[in-house]
Every structure is written in structure tokens, then in C-alpha cells.
Structure 1
Amino acid sequence: MILVTGGAGFIGSNFVLDWLKVNQEPVLNLDALTYAGNLENLDSLKGDSRHVFVQGNICDKDLVSSLLSQYKPRAIVHFAAESHVDRSIFGPDLFFQTNVMGTLNLLECVKAFYDHELSDEEKAQFRFLHVSTDEVYGSLGFDDPAFTEETPYRPNSPYSASKASSDHAVRAWFHTYGFPVLTTNCSNNYGPYQFPEKLIPLVISNALARKPLPIYGDGLNIRDWLYVGDHCSAIRCVLEKGKLGETYNVGGHNERNNITIVKTICAILDEVKPHPDGSYADLITFVKDRPGHDRRYAIDSTKLQTQLGWKPQECFETGIRKTVEWYLSHQTWVKNVQSGAYREWTAKQYGNW
């Protein structure tokens, strides 16, 4: 069995679903079910004995320790994190509590389990895989080379600072204690089950509701877009083949600026669900840029591709079409996650539309 933290969130739930599609090894899924955690993501696993769900917080030492002793996982895949930059600007405390102190608690509990409850043979097979972000590297100029695993950390938001701190803790546990860790730093994910505070699902949802499509600043901020299914396969690859103590960057090789992303979504919607009032692109609205908005991210995943043999399967054109079609066919899911709390957040962030 493997233990997945944050397995009801966007990337975590995709990973759990992906994992159980390709092998029979059970998953113990620990998730606090905050606003972005959603058990509906895992509806297809109801009645599946390979999926054991526990609602709980990674900061709960007693709970984490008891789960480790009871289920004796052979690996940890650590997704659990607060991940939205905008929310971190308004409330950084929660980000440091979950991303830093939660990771610290998890490291301590798992190390105690590793030291005292595993045989030498089990220790040799055990892995702790920490899932992080390219945002820890800071911002790139338009002509700068992409981030590599050797790029110095320069986090610019409370979110990225908290993730950088957790990355450093994981690294320290390997070098100080010989704890068997692996770290991945991914680019911007998109795909099914993403909470509609992030750009792509927000634009799809607003477009269908004929609401403004908010774009920060001039819309020229660039991200490297990674289809979530490709990210899941990369994590499985690193868990299986990665060298202990190493970091692997995961990117989609799909650099696009925000205005291009939004116009692409609008063009797909114009094609598959045309609206009598005109093009969805007519709804594009530029809003005040957020503080400290990084200009460009780009990931060089050469190390992962050459050393471990992974490569993404989706280009942006195929991935974004799959994503739009998924949201169109899962409008009940979208409606259910757009609670009063979600509406309050979007009103606060983008205006009361």
C-alpha cells in the first residue's frame, strides 16, 4: 500500500485515479477536505477496496502516526498543500501552517515509523516523494533559459516561499538523517477536477455563465502548462526509478501566456458550444495585476526524460481540448464546488460580478 496525502484535491485525486487504473496496489488517502478537497472527485472508487479514505490533517501527529502503524505503507506521496497564490497573499499564515509545519510533522512521523517499525528490507524499498512547484525558483525573463534542478530558489509569493521551505526540510531530512526522499517540482497543471479559482477552470466556468473573463495586468505572463495526467505518470516514474535525495523537474514543454490561454479556450467553446450573443472572447476583461506576479515560468525536464525515460504525452492543443470537454460534460460537479464560499472569494478577488 502507498499513502497519498491530499488525495482528494486536484492533482492528488487525479493521481489516485491514475494509480488504481494501472496497478492493483491499494491507496491510503489522507485529506483534510478543505475547500479544494472534494470526495466527488473519487466517486468512481466507491466500493473499491483498494481505496481507503481517511479525513484528517497532516498536522495531526497522533492521526498520522496511527495510520502509519496500522497500514504500514511502503511509500508516501505527499501532495497535501495550500496552493493558490492569490489566497496566500490575503492569508499567508495558513500556507505556512500547512505547507511548512504540516510537511515537518509528516517528516517526523514517517521517519519515526521508518526507523522503528520497518525491517531492513522494507527500509531499502521505502520512499517519501514530496510534490512541489516550479514557483520556488522565482521569475524568468522572456529570454532566460528554463528552470533546471540547479536553479537557485527565489520564491516571490507567500505560497512559493512556504513550498520552498518545505522543499528545504525534505532535503535536510535526506542529508542529515539519510531519510529516503525524492522531490518533484512541476509546472502549472491543468485538467479534470481543478478547482475553479485557477485560470483555466475559472475561464471555462465564467464563459459558460456569460461572466467577464478576468486577466491580470497585460495578460502576457507566461507559464509552462502540464496536463495533469502527464504529471501523474511522471510521479509514478520518479517513485519507481528516482535516485534517493534527487530532485526532478516536471514540465509540459508548453509555454503560453495568459491571454493566449484564454483566447484558446474561447475558440474551443465557440466551436463546440457557440452562444447566440457572440464569441466568448468578447467577455475578456483585464483586471489589476496581483502583487508580486511572476512574469514567466519555464521548466527544463531533461533530467527526468534522460535519466528516467519519462516524457509528456499531451501537447497543449490536445490537453486543453480534453479539459474543456471534461468541464462541459461535468457541469454538475462544477455547480457543486461553486459554493457560497467560492462566490465570496471570486467577488473579493475579481469584483462582484
Structure 2
Amino acid sequence: MKTFNLNKLTILLGLFLVSAFFTTSANALCVVNGAGAIVFDGAAKNPQDANEFYPVKGDTTLYDINGNVDYTANTPTPDCGITPDTYKLNLYKMGICKANPDLNDLTSCQMFFESAAGIELDIQAGVSTTLDIPEFTIDPGTYQYLYVLLSNKLGMKWSGRFNVAVDGSSGDGNGGTYCWTSNAGLYPNAPQNNSSDDAVTTVHGTSLATNVQNMDCGTSEGTVVFANEALLRFSQGYCSADLGANGDKYTFEKMGVGAARGTPTASLLTSADVFATTCQTAAKIGWTTALDTSYNVTEDSTFALSVKATDANSLKFSTGDNNDIDKIQSGAPKIFLNVTD
């Protein structure tokens, strides 16, 4: 067994992160014009329902897990992906495991770090830094799983431009072509019940109501703040209903490339690191990636952790006959570890 110095774990921020909204789907990046402004067409219709207006377009055709077309590029959609200016994560643990830890059994895992308070990362596209952690030891061997424990509260900061005036939280007629994250409150990814006016009580504080906009727009850029989202459930449903016994576990489609490619599974955990059975107790996300190719760790191995900022968030718009932007939504961290032996 060899001690690996902290400078052998490099975090390459801005390289890998899953696109928009912690559900089953991804988002293509918003279509922009030659000036880099997001193209907004308030008159565009939902191809499946003429009563709904889908005002933006994504730039990429998306496929489901079976290879079927889920979304065709450049067709109307109510939301599209953007690259945040900054994406904030709080990590509590990260390690590699010989047996599958997705049932919250970490006995086969070797950890790079464990922090009760968490290590906060502000991720920006193209920015790399060394993760400030103590020295760690990893036993040589074969590890098929990557494990990350992180907060289910995610922060995002963004500002951008549209080709036409868009209305935000300041109300109809008070918008403009500049939009930005404007509300630092906590937005829930699931409502308390069928009323959009009800907030959700969470571990991180009382949330905003789901009908509150966390974006504003104007004729010039305003004060950009971190908007926060709490990922309270992965399955469809209200927070008045209990989660599953395993913390509302969800398995995503395969992600990544090369040695970092694998199938991720996420579960909601409480502050005590046991499965959360309600939205109100969900505090953390246990993220496991089952690797296609196991890590082969030797005494000379080095490690590089990668997190992508591109299309990490999505902008969601009203489907009514208006030019309203509803909110910015967070993405789920698509975290990869590259091991060089």
C-alpha cells in the first residue's frame, strides 16, 4: 500500500456534467443566432399540442436509452440547456469500490476524502484546480465502482441574452433581451402538492413555491446571484407522498467515454447518510457509477476527477401565449474519475 499525495487527485472542473433537471431526460443546448443570443420564438407551437407554445429549440438530436429519437434537433421545446457561469456543488465523500455501493454499503470502498461539512466546489467551464484534501491511501486492486456523496442542494449562476425581449420575475412588459439568475432562494424540483403556491419544508430550509420565478430580465444585465435548487425526489410525484424505501433510487442511461464510461445510479439520503423516505428529510445524493472497465490501481497510480459544466443547467419557459421565462433548473453531476497506473 502506498500513500498518494493530495496533488495526485486533480479535479478538472468544466469537463463533465449531465444536462438539465434531475429526471430521466437530457437537454440540448439552446439554439443561438450569429450574435450568440438565444433564439426565442413565442409563436412556436408544441408539435404534439397546438394549444401549447414551445418558444425555444435545442441544437442536438437526443436519443433514449434504447437508441430511439427522444428529441429532434431544431424543433420547438419548452426548455433548453445552457452552460452556467458557475455551478456550485458540495461533496462529502468520494471513493472507489470493489462491490456495488448503491445499496449504501460502503464496506468495500476506499475513500479519497470524507468531510462532515463537505467540500464546496464552484465549477466553471474550462477552469481546472487541485482539490484541497488531506493525503489519502488507496490499496492496489481492481475497483469497478466510483462513489460520490454530495449535497442535494445545488447552486447555479447564469446570465445571457435573447434575440427578443423576454419577461422574468419583474412582470409582463418589464423584461428585455438580458436575463439572469435573480433569486437566491431555494427552488424545489418537486411541488408539495398539486398547488403551485405551497412551499416545501426541506433540510436546507423552506423552499420557494414552485410558481416563483428565479430569473429576471431587463434592457441591461442586473445583479446576478446564485439560484439554488433542492433535488427532493427523482420519481414523478408530490412531496406530500413518501419516497421509496431505498431513497427514491434512479438509474440513468450510460454516460462517459473511455475508461470513465459507466452506468450511474443515484439515491437520496438523509443528513445521517441513510435512505431518505420523504422529501422533507432528503439532504444528500449517493451517486454510484458502475464502470464498464474496472479501475486497476497500482502503487504508482494517479487520479483525475472530471466534472462538466457544458449544458449543466436548463432554462424553462412558459407554455402559454407569452414571452415568460419561468426558471433555471439544475443538472445532476456527471462525475468521472480517470485512473492512470
* TM-score above 0.5: no
User: TM-score by structure 2 length?
Assistant: 0.21
User: TM-score by structure 1 length?
Assistant: 0.21
